[in-house]
Every structure is written in structure tokens, then in C-alpha cells.
Amino acid sequence: MKILFATSNPNKAKEIAALLPESFELLTLNDINVTEEIPETQNTLDGNAKQKSEYILTNFQLDCFADDTGLEIPALNNEPGVKSARYAGEQRDSEANMQLVLDRLKDKEDRSARFRTVISLELNGEQHLFEGIVNGSIREGKVGDGGFGYDPIFEPENCGKTFGEMSMNEKNRYSHRARAFAKMIAFLSE
């Protein structure tokens, strides 16, 4: 079964491809020559995931899935949340985003955080949502150079190292995206 992931982010595509059972073939927007940026104008992760999958269905008549992910930090009123990719500005600079989080947490005792992913699947005229959450904390500085986004500052609970210190396979044992994706694959396999 071919399945279209409505993303042009190669890091997300690699993570998902590593989780895919052999009976599935993953396609991305690059594979179908979609180069335009899909709108993400909603104020929730659910809303953005739905908006992206609906955009592909409406404009290209293709079943697909899309995700949106946010880092939620209680001490920062659950920021950056839905604005995680653009926390430090529209340029989507991961280094600037991480530094802004670290600066804003500088005098906070509570460094708890969670990553949350919502996947919207458009299949046979129906929409399905799947959520994955991983709880953890924000380190006081960057550790590791693997992964992407906030990975070098986020440490999952009971793990002892950041996502940035993990291989992709190791990260996929803990990650929010892997948890949401596993729910979707279980649904598709039924």
C-alpha cells in the first residue's frame, strides 16, 4: 500500500519511513512534485494537521496523512506549542528556537515539558486523528547533535539523554511522532 505523508521535511520523512511496515511504501510531497507550502494557519495542532491533510485531498484528490507537532512547556504557559517551528520567528531557525526556550526558562525551577504530535489521516472520504505524547524535561543547554528541532534540549522521562543524543531508531522507541504513527498503522492494518 502506498501512503502519502503531506510533508516536505526530510527529517520527519526519515523517522516515519523507519517505522513503516514492509507492506507500505511512503511517498512525500517531493515524490508527487508538490513544491508549494501548505498553509498552517490554525491555532491548534489538531487544526494544523487537519488543514494540511484537507489541503492535499482538496487540491490533489489524494488520500494522505499530515502531522503537526508542538513542544509544550508548562512554565511557559505551554509555549511554544503550535508555534514550535516559528517560535523565534518566521525563518524557522531551530537554533534560535532552542535558545529562546533556554532563555525563557533560565530562572524557572519547573523544566517539565512534553512533545505532542497529532496526525490527520484522510482515507476513503473519512478523516481520522491520532495523537502521540512523550513527557520529559528541558535540559539547561544543548546536548547531542542528532535529530532536529528541539531534540538537543529535550530529555524524555526515565531516559537519561536527549533526543539529540539518540540514534533515529532509539528516538523512535520514545518519540511522540512514533507513538501517533503506531496508532495510525494499527488502524490501517485492521
Catalytic residue set: 68
Amino acid at 99: Q
Which residue bears the cell 526519515?
Answer: 14
Please, which residues bridge with residue 121 across strands?
65, 128
Q: CA angle, 134 as apex, 113 and 143 as ends, to 5°? A: 60
Q: Which three cell numbers stand for residue 38?
A: 501548505
Give dist(CA 119, CA 181) in Å, integer: 7
Euclidean distance between the first and the last CA atom of the chain, given in angstroms as a whole number: 13
Please give the distance of CA 70 from its chain centroid, rounded to a whole number: 7
User: What does DSSP assign to residue 111?
Assistant: -
